Amino acid sequence: AERPSTALADRLEKELGRRPLYLKADLRDIETLRAAAAKAAEAHGDITVLVNNAALDDRHAVEDVTVEFWDNNLAINLRPHFFTAQAVAPGMKRAGGGSIINFTSTSYLINHPDMPAYTAAKAGILGLTKGLAGKLGQDRIRVNAVAPGWVITERQRELWVTDEGLAAHVAKQCIKDVMQPDDMVGTVLFLASDASRMLTAQMLIVDGGFL
């Protein structure tokens, strides 16, 4: 992730004249995660928008899952979402409010058979989102979830996409287009902005109408 992240920072600096802050952190290490959040706040002031978009969707069979695999899966796909929110919530309160956007997935809604540990974590994100929204709303902090359908990233193409599988999936969507990462941008900007100031504890599904 470091190389594409640095490349993105380079490109944005060239295009916009300002360099985004890139901080490398292992999300499984909570103290490192907290330190990164503190550095970001030190550089830019209290964080008022948090997008939790970490995920590792390795396929796995039920019989192959070990305790170590299960724990590592949740340490990437669920646990950081809570601790990043915990880290930024005081600053959002000082700022008079904020927006936390947790990425989940539609995979747990479609009975996906090949990654039960992952879908368990993604289902947990919705519960976490609602619990945080109930607690933090009193400080004008909104917490929502975004559930993408099958977004065709580089990783998806390298590991799992086949022409036949993708065509079959798109055929079940109301909108017959292949979903791209950029298709998530508008939803995130909406949830980050005051246009959604009364929207919290919700999950927005962005899947081209697959569900």
Q: What is the dihedral of CA 120, 126, 132, 137, to 10 degrees?
A: 180
- Which residues belong to the active site? 118
Q: Give the other-Cβ count within 10 Å of 182's Cβ.
A: 8
SS3 category, 188: helix
Residue 52 CB coordination number (10 Å): 24
- Paired tokens of 164: 């036949």
What does each C-alpha distance from 56 to 19, 68, 77, 78, 104 come to in angstroms?
27, 15, 7, 10, 11
- What b/e sequence results for 158-173 when a residue is b if at least 16 CB atoms lie within 10 Å of its CB, and e otherwise? eeebeeeebeebbeeb
Closest CA to 160 of 53, 58, 55: 58
